[in-house]
Structure 1
Amino acid sequence: MAKNTISRRTVLSLLAGTGAAALIGCDAVRGRNQDRAITIPDALLVEVDGGLGVLRGADRMTIPRSLATVDGQAVYATAPDGADTAFWRIDTATGHASTRVTLPGRWVPQAVSANGTKVALTSHADSATSGRPDGRDVSPVLIADITGVQHRLELRGNFVPEAFTADLAGLFVLEWLPAAAPDRYRVRVVDLATRAPGPLSTRLKTPVPPGAEEEMRGDGRQAALAPNRTILYTLYTHQPDHQHTRNLISGRPGDVHAFVHTLHLNERWAYCIDLPHPFGEAPASGHAMAISPDGQTLHVADITSGSVAEISTEELAVRRTATVAKGTGTGHAAADRDRLFVGADTVVRTVEVGRLGAGTTWSVREPVTGLVLSPDGKRLYVGQTGGVSWHDSTTGAELGRTGVPGLIGVRGLAGQH
């Protein structure tokens, strides 16, 4: 089964399946339009104006203020409840909803654990990929599951949750500096028992020395979680005067324009894989990343220059690079064992992984807003400005299409029955 690459905000974001509307009441909006009779072969997670949603068969649904597990099997939903927040979990395959619990105060979900059991919520609608937050001196964070509040943190500084450690004992966060007027950030881990943030480890599993923590000013473009859910890869671009921890420790210069930040959720170390020129020179939006189903290979594409890089996740190094046709617009990518699919503007291209060379190219009606492969790899779903089409993944022939008003992007597969 092919895995899809998604933004950090979405590692992590989406929704409920058929039957959930009856269970969650007025918070769900079921749509019926002229495309109601068109049946989509696979359930899809999408982002639309006003919320996140699911397309399942002929059903359409939207739920605001939601965050999904990385495998799309469940979604955590929130809704205002007076001065407090209602919080519950929905199984996306069956629509079954857990009992609602009340969280004191107003909260929005920001990060969900890789095993899908814990959620970090904040009082501010910031995320790891939404740009720099407003200045603040204290960052309240709530850790909850379907039974209620597990931890409440009052972090001194400007923090945004990113991911949980594999043992659920820690929370990775972005600490923005300076707190009152942030212009850069670093990745830290908060011990949930002591509630204290601290540095990560190096790849050699030794603590990062004081003064050697990386501070980043660029854009966190996109993230991909390894199939075994132990490593989070994030593509960063435009890093002016950036120095990796290894350069700060050694004293060697090493300015880069783009790299893949590797975060081990179990061992708590981080390592950066530098991308060669011209990655990072063009707009961040033109870059896209996809991981292979076996987790052994990452591919990064720069639409503007036509550059493609193949990264070995075992060696944590770029193995090969190639140049294919250039393009314009926002980049999107999906991959299976043999093919990398890259979409931008109204064009979708395949790259043959074996020779890292160009394959089939086809056009779609409207600018691409996401690529998702079916579980069997036979269909490629293409999000567009006004809807979703699905194509034969070998020939590019359009097999079907349905309109989705207000579609922002196609994010992944929903839970299967």
Structure 2
Amino acid sequence: MTTRRDLLILAGAVAGLSACDPPRRTPVTAVPDRLIARTTGGLVTVDGSTTRRWGERSAVSPDGSFVYAMKDGTLTGPAANAQLEAGWAPEVVSADGTACVLRRPGSLLVTHGENQKRLPAAGNIQADAFTTDTLGLFVLEWLPAEAPDHYRVRLMDLGTGTLSPLLTRDKRPVPAGAEEEMRGEGRQAVLSPDRQVLSTLYTHQPGHQHTRNLLAGTRSDVHAFVHVLHLEQRWAYCLDLPHPFGEGPAESHAIAIDPDGRRLAVVDLASGSLAYADTHRLAITSVISVPKGAGTAAVALDASRTFLGAGRTVTLLEGGGTSRWTVPSPLRGLHLNHAGDLLYAGGTDEIVWLDAASGAIRGRVRVPGLQTLRHVLGSQGRVGGSPDPGT
């Protein structure tokens, strides 16, 4: 997610540009990796010298590998090519790309290959993620349905349409009255490399009580946490973030996972705080101070480096040292490629890519109306569907 855009790519020689130089136009080259971006016109895929516009009615899988789109009454995707009634819009795509949930007022439609099933969206239901086997759907149930101001995460059985609580981390059903009800903002979500765990950063949660607090009769005073959802085992756990996370602007927060899926990084650039968490122990391992920044935050990391961004500044943390680079326009997403040699940065109507060691700008591509750079896939990454291949 998920997941929603006219693009012009011009061929030219690659020319390096020091990140400290005054902004100037850098010759554009074919994009080395596959990119997924959200623009004011919907999702866009940039792949080498090809651009695909998916339109406003589109959704992407949690890691960016698969896209479903509705256009002129036809649903397209890696496991779908079907005519549907007017009004449906893709909402959630399964991690393996085989299933999609579409919404229109009053009902949900689940497609799985040639199979389709319509489910009544009783109350106020928003799809969030598929279970790994695609037999269940995690949803946000907004309460009260007529004038909602909070929600809880529940599991919908796609065979019957019934809703039930999630399991606790030790795989026990949550007792009645102990389900978490949230009022905060789901800022960002990242999928583990094995596609088993979805981690969502929530901020602005004053007064929120976790299931473990409700069961133990204790209270929590945290304002931000990572909601860890196991898509296969169907349990959820809230990893609390320490003060001052969650107290500043939501846009100052960002989350990322390393390529091995062993570490999460959560940053709050308004306070200058960076937290690392162990994904196996589900525990915060360290919190360090970093340079503060104003604007929409972004973070990317690998085994030895962490890249932070806000405004026009990118900060590299490596081996106890800090480097700061400047990009042409305010950041709208920051992602390393799979090789770890290029850092992609969304900006105003464009995406630029930098040498991940020096910060030198290696290329740029125009993306009008860019809202955020969502995903960077390897050159062999798969994006399913058959949209309009505009250039």
1:9 match: 2
1:400 has 2:363 as partner? yes
Partner of 2:35: 44
State the partner residue of 2:313: 347
CA contact (8 A) 1:35 1:402 kept: no
1:110 partnered with 2:91: yes
Report 1:7-406 matches (<5 A). Answer: 8-10=1-3, 31-32=7-8, 38-64=29-55, 65-81=57-73, 86-89=74-77, 100-124=81-105, 139-149=106-116, 151-352=117-318, 357=320, 359-406=322-369
How far apart, CA to CA, are the structure 1 residues paired with 2:144 and 2:11? 50
The answer to whether the 8 Å contact 2:31/2:49 transfers is yes
Distance 1:108 1:359 in 2: 44
1:68-101 Cα shifts (integer Å, max 9, x gaps): 23443332111243xxxx11115xxxxxxx7731
CA distance in 2, matches of 1:39, 1:199: 48
Question: For the structure 1 residues 109 and 339, does the alpha-carbon distance in structure 2 shift closer, same or farther, using more than 3 Å as the test?
Answer: same
Distance 1:287 1:60 in 2: 30
Q: Give 1:288's aligned amino acid.
A: A
Once superposed, what is the RMSD of the aligned Cα atoms?
1.9
Which residue number corresponds to residue 25 of structure 1?
Answer: none
Amino acid paired to 1:102: Q
Aligned length: 364
Asked if the contact 1:71–1:415 (Cα under 8 Å) also holds between the matched residues in 2, the reply is: no
- Measured after TM superposition, the shift of residue 239 of structure 1 is 0.5
Pair 358,290 (structure 1): closer, same or farther in 2 beyond 3 Å: farther
In the superposition, the TM-score normalised over structure 1's length comes to 0.83
The answer to which of 407-416 and 332-341 deviates more is 407-416
Q: Is the 8 A contact 1:343 1:371 kept in 2?
A: yes
Following superposition, the deviation at residue 166 of structure 1 comes to 1.3
Q: Contact 1:108/1:123 (CA < 8 Å) preserved in 2?
A: yes
Counterparts in 2 of 1:156 and 1:319: CA distance versus 1, 3 Å: same
State the match for 1:24 in structure 2.
none
In 1: Cα distance, 2:104 partner to 2:122 partner: 14
Which residue in 1 is equivalent to 2:388? none
- Measured in 1, the distance between the counterparts of 2:64 and 2:209 equals 36
Please tell me whether the aligned partners of residues 137 and 158 of structure 2 are also in contact (alpha carbons under 8 angstroms): yes
Q: Aligned partner of 1:117: which letter? A: T
Structure 2 spans left out of the alignment, 5+ residues: 13-27, 381-391
Amino acid at match of 1:114: A
Q: CA shift at 1:304, angstroms?
A: 0.6
Deviations 1:108-152 (A, max 9, x none): 11111111100011115xxxxxxxxxxxxxx41110034241x21
Alignment deviations for residues 338-390 of structure 1 (CA, whole Å, 9 cap, x no partner): 111111100011223x6xx5521101111000112122110101111131111
Counterpart-to-counterpart distance in 2, 1:42 and 1:298: 23
For structure 1, the residue ranges without an aligned partner over 5 or more in a row are 1-7, 14-28, 91-97, 125-138
Secondary structure of 1:369's counterpart equals: coil
Which letter maps to 1:211?
A: G
Secondary structure (helix, strand or coil) at the match of 2:248 reads coil
1:307–1:321 CA contact under 8 A, matched in 2:
yes
Percentage of identical aligned residues: 47
